[in-house]
Amino acid sequence: MNRLPLFFARLVVVLALLSAYGWAVKHRTKGDLNLGWANAVVDQLSGFPDLFKQSVQEAQALPQTFVPTPGDFVPVQRLENNVLALTAYSNEDGGRTIDLRNLRTGASRHQWVVPSDIPMKPHWRVHHPLMLPDSSVISFITNRSPLFRLDAGSNLLWRQDSLSFHHAINADAEGMVWACVQQWERGGRHIGYRGRYGMDGKTVNFL
C-alpha cells in the first residue's frame, strides 16, 4: 500500500483541526463565540503556554535549598516540654548555618556558620550535623564535599577531603565518629547501586 496518500490525508485532517481550534480561540478572544461546555476546554488549552511560562519563572525564582513557606501557613504548636533539634539552612549571605533550636519556643540556642572555604554550590545542603559534648559540630555538605568539624565559635578544627560521605554520622561511647563513606576520584563518575526487595508480594526498586 502506498503510504504517501495516507500521510497527506492525515496531514489534511491535522491542519483542519488546528485551523478549527485557531478559529475558535480567535472568536473566543473577541467574545463573539459561545461553545457551551467546550468554552473551558478551549480557554484552558489556549492559556497553557502562559501557564507553562509562569510555572518556569516561579521554579527559577525558588531558592536552591528550600521551598518558601506559604503566606497563609498556620503552624501547630502543642509541645509542653523543650525539644532541642539540630537543623541547618541557607543564610542571608548565601552560606550555610547550623542551628541548635528549641522547637517548643522557636529560640536558637547556638549557631555555627560554615566557613566560606568549604566547597559550596547554591543547591548543596548541610547533611546530618552531629553536635559533640564540647559544643563542636561535625557535618558535610552533599556527598561531594569534605567532612568537617567546627568548634563552638565556627572555627574549622579539621576536614577530611579524600572520601565521599553519605547521610548518617554517629559518635560511639569512646568518642569515635562513624560515617557511611565511599572512595571517589575528584571529577569521577558517581556510582549508583540499584537494588530491589519484595514487600507484600510486590517488587520495590531503590537506589
Smallest Cα–Cα separation from 165: which of 141, 187, 189?
Answer: 141
* Position 188 confidence tier, pLDDT thresholds 50, 70, 90: low
Residue-wise pLDDT tens digits, 54-70: 888 877 776 667 677 88
In a domain, 51, yes or no: no
Same domain, 182 and 92: yes
My answer on whether 21 and 119 are in the same domain is no
- Residue 12 CB contacts under 8 Å (≥ 6 apart), including other chains: none
For 39, phi then psi, to 5°, come to -55, -45
Whether residue 100 sits in one domain with residue 7: no
> In this structure, is residue 2 part of a structural domain?
yes
- Please check whether residue 173 lies inside any domain of the structure: yes
Is 167 within a domain? Answer: yes
Residue 114 lies in a domain: yes
Does some domain include residue 137?
A: yes
26 and 99 part of one domain: no
Output the DSSP codes for 47-89: HHHHHHHHHHHHHHHS-SS--PPPTT--------S--EEEEEE
Domain range enclosing 154:
84-195
Question: Does some domain include residue 124?
Answer: yes
Q: pLDDT tens digit string along 121-166?
A: 877 888 889 999 999 999 988 766 689 999 999 999 999 888 888 7
Instruction: Pick the closest to residue 11 from 22, 2, 3 (CA basis).
Output: 3
Domains: count for the chain:
2
Listed residue (70, 62, 22, 68) closest to 46, CA to CA: 22
The pTM assigned to this predicted structure is: 0.62
Q: Are 149 and 165 in contact (CB under 8 A)?
A: no
Q: pLDDT band for position 120 (50/70/90)?
A: confident
Residue 117 lies in a domain: yes
3 state SS for 81-141: CCCEEEEEEECCCCCEEEEEEECCCCCEEEEEECCCCCCCCCCCCEEEEEECCCCCEEEEE
